[in-house]
């Protein structure tokens, strides 16, 4: 079934020139109870968006990487509080920038080792080199190849080991490339290239046939065009302009040295629903129930929460092992969103799993700088309101 309310909301986002197209699916339990496609896969060529169109996952990739690493944890290869240096020695003697540092050598020894828990929760002290322009680490990440797809995961670890951390491990939260460190951990433990492990242990078992790092010839006509704000001074505003080689020339079109666990995948609605079902009871699952429960727990130290350099603190959000977890009711979600796990990507595709409401789903789009854009929270609130109404009607 498709509820006209969600279609109307999606159509408004497209007609209002905020998004080029919207593909969404809502599950109650493991069953899709609402889905739809509105708008365009390619506005200039007038190609209507379909459910089988392929989207750039960007940071949604982090959910896949977390699942891959947790499969290895379930096999006893590591514990959450083990230091990463056991497997990646280059990260064993880290230094930290002193407050107010004006150069990369103004550092002090890290007060504690980086653990696996720190990496899963973005509290290790790494940064992104994306959202912090003008800082010492932003410049260093770009100059040293930390952001380059031409630098392998193994080589990236060697570079990170020579650069300071932004803060002492476990003492703050900062969105980071820590998930690439987890991807390299998967390579070290498994002895496989990251993408090969994903195919064997995640994509194959779940039937995810349209998720990967490099588009095959038969997939390319289903790859959505990418758009950004027409007004660069208002990157989240209305008005769209088609983009070219973003985030770098040849992205998803050819093989690169790095298979990024932080943001390198593409995917489809059907594949992402298969992944989410792999985290839900009642059928084929990827991880054990106790592991999924750990994913939904807040693992940040007391007093810490999600905080972005642009947008500031989000006190209602902690962080689990694969995304933000909702700690308390807020304007971003209703009472039944407490305990929810969710994340998204730079081009606006988002997913969520809300155990208390019994809801999960995905909203997919292709507009840059749309991570946690207000449309995402408006959509999710509408889904929860509809579910609550349906439940109340059934009870009556």
Q: What is the pLDDT of residues 355-369, one digit of tens each?
A: 999 999 999 999 999
Is the pLDDT at 391 greater than 50, yes or no?
Answer: no
Q: Tell me: domain 68-190, CATH 3.40.710.10, correct?
A: yes
Averaged pLDDT score across all residues of the chain: 94
Is the pLDDT at 1 greater than 70, yes or no?
Answer: no
Dmax over CA atoms of the chain, in Å, equals 67
The SS3 assignment for 325 reads strand
Alpha carbon distances (Å) from 250 to 20, 125, 135, 316: 22, 30, 28, 38
Reply yes or no: is the peptide bond before residue 15 cis, omega within 30 of 0.
no
Q: What are phi and psi of 382, to 5 degrees?
A: -65, -40
Is the pLDDT at 200 greater than 90, yes or no?
Answer: yes
Q: What is the mean pLDDT of residues 372-393?
A: 80
Is the whole-model pTM more than 0.75? Answer: yes
Identify the CATH number of the domain defined by range 4-62+209-395.
3.40.710.10
CA atoms within 13 A of residue 143's CA, in its CB half-sphere: 11
Please tell me the predicted confidence (pLDDT) of residue 143: 96
d(CA 50, CA 210): 14
With bands split at pLDDT 50, 70 and 90, how would you rate the model's confidence at 32?
A: very high
Q: Which range has highest mean pLDDT (16-25, 226-235, 334-343)?
A: 16-25
Which residues, other chains included, contact 233 with Cβ-Cβ below 8 Å and sequence gap of 6+? Answer: none
Please tell me the predicted confidence (pLDDT) of residue 3: 58
With bands split at pLDDT 50, 70 and 90, how would you rate the model's confidence at 2?
A: low
With bands split at pLDDT 50, 70 and 90, how would you rate the model's confidence at 285?
A: very high
User: In terms of DSSP H, where are the helices of the chain?
Assistant: 4-15, 61-74, 116-120, 136-143, 153-160, 178-190, 194-198, 204-206, 269-277, 289-296, 374-395
Please tell me the predicted confidence (pLDDT) of residue 259: 98
Q: What is the mean pLDDT of residues 247-268?
A: 97
Q: What are phi and psi of 360, to 5 degrees?
A: -155, 160
Q: Which residue has the tokens 């365009």?
A: 40
First and final C-alpha spacing in the chain: 21
Q: Is the dihedral of CA 296, 279, 358, 175 positive or negative?
A: positive
Is the pLDDT at 102 greater than 50, yes or no?
Answer: yes
**Interval 126-138: pLDDT, tens:** 999 888 889 999 9
With bands split at pLDDT 50, 70 and 90, how would you rate the model's confidence at 388?
A: low
Strand runs labelled E in 3-131? 21-28, 31-42, 47-48, 55-56, 95-97, 107-109
Strand order, beta sheet including 31-42: 47-48, 31-42, 21-28, 359-364, 350-354, 341-344, 324-326, 317-319
Q: Which residue has the tokens 């109650």?
A: 28
Residue 90's closest CA among 173, 172, 188, 166?
Answer: 188
Q: What is the mean pLDDT of residues 301-314?
A: 88
Q: What is the mean pLDDT of residues 174-186?
A: 97
Q: What is the mean pLDDT of residues 86-111?
A: 97
Please tell me the predicted confidence (pLDDT) of residue 308: 87
Asked if 4-62+209-395 and 68-190 have one fold, the answer is yes
d(CA 55, CA 348): 10
Q: What are phi and psi of 362, to 5 degrees?
A: -145, 145
**Interval 144-165: pLDDT, tens:** 999 999 999 999 999 999 999 9
User: Per-domain residue ranges for the chain?
Assistant: 4-62+209-395, 68-190
């Amino acid at each position: 079934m498709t509820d006209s309310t969600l279609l109307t909301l999606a159509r408004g986002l497209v007609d209002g020139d905020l998004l080029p197209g919207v593909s969404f699916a809502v599950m109650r339990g493991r069953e899709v109870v609402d889905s739809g496609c509105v708008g365009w896969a390619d506005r200039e060529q007038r190609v209507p968006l379909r459910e089988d169109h392929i989207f750039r996952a960007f940071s949604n990739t982090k959910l896949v990487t977390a699942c891959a690493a947790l499969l290895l944890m379930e096999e006893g290869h590591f514990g959450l509080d083990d230091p990463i240096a056991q497997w990646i020695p280059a990260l064993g003697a880290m230094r930290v920038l002193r407050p107010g540092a004006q150069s990369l050598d103004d550092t002090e020894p890290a007060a504690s080792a980086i653990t696996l828990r720190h990496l899963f929760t973005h509290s290790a002290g790494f940064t992104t080199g994306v959202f912090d322009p003008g800082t010492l680490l932003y410049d260093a990440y770009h100059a040293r190849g930390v952001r380059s797809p031409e630098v392998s995961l193994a080589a990236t670890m060697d570079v990170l080991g020579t650069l300071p951390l932004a803060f002492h491990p476990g003492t703050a939260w900062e969105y980071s490339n820590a998930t690439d460190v987890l991807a390299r951990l998967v390579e070290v433990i498994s002895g496989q290239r990251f993408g090969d492990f994903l195919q064997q242990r995640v994509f194959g078992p779940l039937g995810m046939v349209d998720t990967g790092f490099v588009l095959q010839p038969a997939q390319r006509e289903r790859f959505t065009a990418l758009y950004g704000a027409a007004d660069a001074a208002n990157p989240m505003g209305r008005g769209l302009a088609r983009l070219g080689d973003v985030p770098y020339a040849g992205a998803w079109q050819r093989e690169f040295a790095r298979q990024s666990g932080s943001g390198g995948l593409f995917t489809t609605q059907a594949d992402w629903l298969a992944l989410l079902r792999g985290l839900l009871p009642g059928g084929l699952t990827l991880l054990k129930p106790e592991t999924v429960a750990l994913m939904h727990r807040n693992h940040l130290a007391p007093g810490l929460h999600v905080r972005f350099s642009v947008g500031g603190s989000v006190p209602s959000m902690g962080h689990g092992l694969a995304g933000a977890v909702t700690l308390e009711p807020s304007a971003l979600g209703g009472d039944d969103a407490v305990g929810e796990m969710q994340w998204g990507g730079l081009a606006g595709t988002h997913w969520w799993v809300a155990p208390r409401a019994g809801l999960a789903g995905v909203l997919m789009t292709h507009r840059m700088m749309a991570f946690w854009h207000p449309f995402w929270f408006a959509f999710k609130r509408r889904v929860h309101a509809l579910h609550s109404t349906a439940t109340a009607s059934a009870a009556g």
